[in-house]
Amino acid sequence: MSQVLDLAGRLRALTDDELVRLLRIRGGSSTNLKDFFDLAEWLLQPKHMTQYVNSLPKSALLYVSGSNNDHASPVLDFIRSGEFVQFEDSKVLSPIETRQPTSPNSDSVAGIHAFESISSITELVFDLEHRILRDVGKQGISLADAKRLAALTGKELDFVRSVFELSAAAGLITPIDGRWALTLRAADWVGSTAEQRWGLLASTWLELLGFGAAEELGREISRGVSLEKALRDCFPLERFDATSRFGHILTYANLLGLAIEHTVSTWTPLLLKGDRAKATKLISAALPKTQARIIIQGDLSVIAPGPLSTDDERELRSFVEIEQAGLASRYRMSALSVSFGMESGLSVTQIRATLQRLSGGALPQPVDYLLNDAVKRFGRIRVVEDARSGGCFVTSTDATLLTELANDSRLKPYNLIRLDSICLSSRFARDILYFGLREVGHCAIRSDQSGKPISPQRFVANAAQKAESGDWVQTVARLRESDLSISSSSDDEAIMRQILLAIKSKAKISVVFTGQNDVEQTMLLEPSGVANGRMRARDRKADIERTIPIANISSVSFL
């Protein structure tokens, strides 16, 4: 048990960046980590200790194995002083002398890779505003959703899944109640330039790698090796299969244009040195340039011959649906897409003005017909939350339309029940039914009890507020706050924590307390329980059970 206390103290001495890297290696939910003692207990488990040691860069491994003294840190000192790991293959830790030459760099290809990844993530963000994507565990999204996104982006399924995983790692999306939702960071993403979006993803990649290892990796790359070989040289004990942490790091590096096959991009060394601004400036020149023109056709399709600026893209995407994303993108206007724009607060006048500005001419007659018809139909079907039951109501002034909904076989799973001529009810939540109606082509809107439309964009903020803490930075802040509260409170709380640890591990402790006549005593005890401010413990020497007020205990130490 003394090891837990020792390691907890060493973890406390780590920098926030070092703790973030440790938590990323730990993975999983961090909500059960209350303090540094919990983290120390996790790390001391043999499987987790091996996992942590395997993730260390070569310089740290050489220090832990006793081969050099150039990479000291509190936790590495702890591992080095104990017999937690054994290095059976010394060749793994020996410096690798062989170097392979790199092929000529092609920043233009890398820039296209980065653009396609950024564009695909943007499509995912917009898609989540219009649809519900179910969380299917390890796969992230269902095969049907992955195929649909692959068709939109023109990419393979593996690319779509990798982009989805990168979006989750970057904190743009989070699983809530069995479905994926957007976070506040996704709202910032929509309003950012391509360069800013790349910067966010590059920072995520560095966090996954570990800031301490970036400098060492940069030195390997400067010797003329590929990124994959440099990573394998820096992390000789790590796994590099597709599902491992470093398998993801290599995949993400390709998505971000940091390395294409064996070629390292010119901005990658700058990123590894921590100069993200210069790296972003370099890749900016390799990204496709934006333009401000669209082509509107009579079949309601909209073509963007090149990438649009952030503002133009955001305006256009608020009332059109994507058909094919890429350097040249194709969109389509429909009653559903225009209704969605009006839900977001746009008027038909604003929609028409945006189309005329970007197209530079008059609108085709079918587009005018569509916009005029959308105004007439907007709000005919409203979905209102039923706060009492948790379900929802569907209201409309058109009784015939409600009859059509009630008899629509595609809506049978939602169990729509006719209450009266203008209202249906469903046991499903408002958002579930709203997206279900839109999936089958009905222009429904969400509204509050007063009938005011609810903008779809507000759910971005709500998703972030409801998400569990998967942000390692927030977890570190929570650990620091817990540690501060213990140190700033009375000693009873810290003593209680040590007693509970001793009970949990059935450890013996040395207790210094004030006994009768205010005489300080020291006893070797085996605590068995705590109740009503008193510790119950077995005194093996006297072979009796003692009960000591915790307020009288001045110190506790493990044997």
Phi and psi torsions of 399, nearest 5°: -65, -35
Residue 465 lies in a domain: no
| Longest Cα–Cα distance in the chain | 99
Write the secondary structure of 169-183 as one string of H (helix), E (strand) and C (coil): HCCCEEEECCEEEEC
Residue 504 lies in a domain: yes
Phi and psi torsions of 116, nearest 5°: -65, -40
Residue 485 lies in a domain: no
Residue 89 lies in a domain: yes
User: Does one domain contain both 148 and 246?
Assistant: yes
User: Does one domain contain both 175 and 88?
Assistant: no
Last residue of a domain, one of 29, 63, 93: 93
Residue 477 lies in a domain: no
DSSP letters for 466-511: HS----HHHHHHHHHHHHHHHHHS-HHHHHHHHHHHHHHHT--EEE
Residue 470 lies in a domain: no
User: Does one domain contain both 217 and 164?
Assistant: yes
Amino acid at 321: E
Last residue of a domain, one of 93, 127, 150: 93
110, 100, 56: which is closest to 80 by C-alpha? Answer: 56
User: Does one domain contain both 247 and 307?
Assistant: no
SS3 state of residue 308: strand
Cβ count near 18 (within 10 Å): 18
Residue 486 lies in a domain: no
Q: Name 181's bridge partners.
A: 174
Which pLDDT value is given to residue 227?
86
Residue 399 lies in a domain: yes
User: Does one domain contain both 440 and 398?
Assistant: yes
Which pLDDT value is given to residue 491?
60
User: Does one domain contain both 435 and 506?
Assistant: no
Phi and psi torsions of 327, nearest 5°: -60, -40
Which pLDDT value is given to residue 473?
74
User: Does one domain contain both 325 and 410?
Assistant: no
Which H or E run includes 557? strand 553-558
Residue pair 404/440 in contact (Cβ under 8 Å)? The answer is no
User: Does one domain contain both 386 and 371?
Assistant: no
Does this model's pTM top 0.95? My answer is no
User: Does one domain contain both 155 and 264?
Assistant: yes
SS3 state of residue 556: strand
| Number of residues that make up the chain | 559
Q: What tokens appear for 162 in the block?
A: 């990798």
Strands 444-447 and 381-385: parallel
Per-residue pLDDT tens listing for the chain (559 residues): 567 777 877 888 888 877 877 777 666 566 677 777 778 887 888 888 887 888 788 878 887 777 766 666 777 777 777 656 555 554 444 444 444 444 444 788 999 999 999 999 999 999 888 888 888 877 788 899 999 999 988 899 999 999 999 998 888 988 887 888 888 888 889 889 999 999 999 998 988 887 668 888 888 888 778 888 888 888 888 888 877 888 889 999 999 999 887 788 999 999 998 888 999 999 999 999 999 999 999 999 999 999 999 999 989 999 999 999 988 999 999 999 999 999 888 999 999 999 999 999 899 999 999 999 999 889 899 999 998 888 999 999 889 999 999 999 999 999 899 998 889 999 999 988 998 998 898 989 998 888 888 877 544 444 444 333 346 677 888 888 776 665 544 466 667 877 877 787 677 888 888 887 788 888 888 888 888 888 899 888 888 888 988 888 888 876 6
Which pLDDT value is given to residue 461?
45
The DSSP code for 517 is: G
User: Does one domain contain both 362 and 325?
Assistant: yes
The CATH number for 536's domain is 2.30.30.100
Residue 328, phi-psi category: left (phi > 0), alpha (psi -120 to 50), beta (remainder): beta
Q: What tokens appear for 146 in the block?
A: 């992955």
Q: What tokens appear for 199 in the block?
A: 């910067």
* Domain total of the chain: 5
Last residue of a domain, one of 431, 452, 473: 452
User: Does one domain contain both 368 and 387?
Assistant: no
User: Does one domain contain both 157 and 242?
Assistant: yes
Amino acid at 315: E
> Which range marks the domain in which residue 78 is found?
2-93
